[in-house]
Each structure stands twice: as C-alpha cells, then as structure tokens.
Structure 1
Amino acid sequence: MADETAGARLPAVHVSEATVERHDRRLAVVQRLLMVHGVHSYTVHTVSLRLSGEDGRPIPLGRPKVYAPELVVRGDSGRVATVTVGERSGCYLVSLPGRSDPQAEREPQHVAGLILAARPSGAS
C-alpha cells in the first residue's frame, strides 16, 4: 500500500479498537474540512490476520491485529497527503510529498491548510 509520492510513511502500529474509534473521529474532522474545499479523501483501515502457522499448516484465526487508520488525500495527479494521529502525542501527523518527516499539527484546521497548500496549482 506504500506510495512513493506520499512522502515519508510512518510504520504501522497495531492499536486497540478504542484507539481506532478515537482516531477515526479525529480524522473525520479533517476530512470534513477538506470536503468543504472539494478535496477528496478516504480513510484506510488495515487489519492483519495470520492464516498459517510456522509449518505452513492452517491455524485457527487468532485475534486480528488492527492498525491505526490513515486519511489518504488524493488529487488529480495521485496522492497529495496521508494523515495519521500520533499514538502517544495525539497530534495529527501529516505526510506530504517531498518531505522526509511527517509534520505534527495539533489543530485540524492547520492540517487542512497544509494539505490545501500542498495541492498542485490548478487543483480543485
């Protein structure tokens, strides 16, 4: 799922269902702010299931690993940004193309502003 044009991606960290719900609510705020400007985004949820044992034989499904959701922002030319929520800090972490490290922001309005500024000129 990695996209080289998205800037630095954070390593996936498995989290609790309660954390996923909290992060979903926070990412939805940014998504609504972007929608007002006609910017398309969607939330990605990743769940990992182990389907075979070390010896290759099928095993009963254990507890799935649930990873923190990501808000993916797309433009006409592909991915514009990826937004996650820091597990410990609670900050929004914004990965933009051409930047090696995600930028931390506390306010959803600042996240939306960063993303809007990063869009290619002429994008809707």
Structure 2
Amino acid sequence: MKLFLKGAMLAALAGTPAIAWQTQTDFRGLVINDLVQGPLEIKVICDPGGAFIPAADQAILTLEGQLPDGPFTLSADTGSVSGTLEAGLISNRNGGIWTSFARLLMTGSRFDLTVADQTITIQTKSALPETCLPGRS
C-alpha cells in the first residue's frame, strides 16, 4: 500500500505546474534558494560574499521529510550529474560534483532527480539564480 501511494504521488507530480525558486539573503550575506515540489525540497545555500572561509556553497535535499543517504542523479536536457548524498548534503567540498550540480540547476528549468529509488520531475519557472559561483574553492 505504501509503495502504491508513493507511485501515485509521483505520477501526480508529472502534471504539476512550474514552480519558482524562493530566494532570500540572511544577515551574513548567504543567499538561500528554496524549491519545494511534492515530497522533495531542494535548498541551495550560496556564499557569494565569502562569509565563510572557504566559501560554503551547498545544497540540502529533503525527501518526504528525511535527509537521504546514498546515490543520486540529477539530469536535464543540458546534461546530468551523479554522486552520493550524505544526510542529504552536496557541497562545494565535493569538488566536481558540486560544480556540475550547481551549473545544471543554473542552466535549465526541467530536471529529473533520482534519489532513494524514486525519480521526481522538477519543473521550475526559471533556472537557479547564478549566485553560487560554481568551481570557487
């Protein structure tokens, strides 16, 4: 029954209209971009002003209220990136994976994210704002 409900929820998301990134800046100058679609939340935290040394750019993925561990793949028409989540985290300390992940989010508006044996289609109104400066170390 639980598997059926998950499948039904994912099928319903296929027809979900495009959603927008919600962006705010905190008192340290960190830019926080948040996207929620169904059971998935992607929070991309960027440090364009270098509040932390080294800069702390990261994404936190939450699936059904949990921080997943294990392999993930984010794919779009412009490419794909695969890696391993640890407590839902991808950061610029992951080197090439972070750079590819951030650039992919910055260059498109439709993605398929596979994590924890689930694939969720994400349709945004626009690409992630270019505040994470991929490749900065």
Q: TM-score, normalised by structure 2?
A: 0.35
More strand by share: 2
Q: Normalising by the residue count of structure 1, what TM-score does the alignment of the two structures yield?
A: 0.38
Q: Which has the larger radius of gyration?
A: 1
Q: Which has the higher helix share?
A: 1
